[in-house]
Amino acid sequence: MSGMFGIGGGSVRIPLLNLAGLPLLNAFGINFFVIPFSSLVGAMSQRKNIAKEIVIYAIVGGVLGEIIGAISVGFIPTLILAIIFVTLCFIVAFGIHSSKIVPKLAQKVKPTEKNIFGSSFFVSFITGLRGGSGGQIFPALFKSFGLDTHQAIATSLTVSIFTAFGAIPIYWHRGNIVWLPALFVLIGSMIGARIGSKVSLKTKPLWLEIGLTVLILILAFCVIYKAYN
């Protein structure tokens, strides 16, 4: 999923690690440890599609948001965080198809340095509070800024490498990274990212857009479910 859609993979990895018996903070730590490596594999496979004109601003904003989010874990009530995340998911899912639904409005949305920095900071801060690198939202966010689907995926993978590094020292210092499970998760994730990237490059943008939209909405409903159960 990371290699194919440009997401961090944590949206699936964290619940599976938690289900396997690891405490949530350990699942968060392992997820952050794995993301730079799996994202690097995907980004290298799709390096020709990286949007170089915006990637630096997205990285800087994303890393700052991730650091603050990781430090702030536990300070914001779960329900409030869930509401913010779900709202963000729906907005971004709409943004993926805004050029078709409201073309005039979509043309007014410009990927300026301030827009890219600010939105990347906010996305990383919110997802950082949930143990993620921002990769769950970045592909759809970049698509809403006018990048084509393959550019959005490649750029998301690149940004996720650096945002995860913003959180790793914090979880390492807390002792939340359990190294043996982390090693096995790392190997599986890198293999999966490579295969996913190859599939992504051969898949038509329309199907990637549909798959990404469905995935974003599924994540939103999963958050709603967890918040009320």
CB 41 within 8 A of CB 197: yes
Lowest mean pLDDT among 103-117, 140-154, 161-175: 103-117
Lowest mean pLDDT among 81-85, 132-136, 171-175: 81-85
Number of folded domains that form the chain: 1
Helix, strand, coil percentages, rounded to 5, for the chain: 80, 0, 20
User: 157, exposed or middle or buried, with CB in 10 Å at 0-12, 13-18, 19+?
Assistant: buried
Predicted TM-score (pTM) of the model is 0.74
Domain membership of residue 129 as a residue range: 2-227
More confident residue, 106 or 60: 60
Angstrom CA distances, 80 to 1, 72, 86, 111, 126, stand at 27, 14, 10, 28, 11
Angle between helix 205-227 and helix 149-174 axes, rounded to 10 deg: 40
Say what the alpha-carbon torsion angle 184, 189, 195, 200 is, to the nearest 10 degrees.
170
CB 50 within 8 A of CB 155: yes
Residue % of the chain over a pLDDT of 90: 16
pLDDT exceeds 60 at position 53: yes
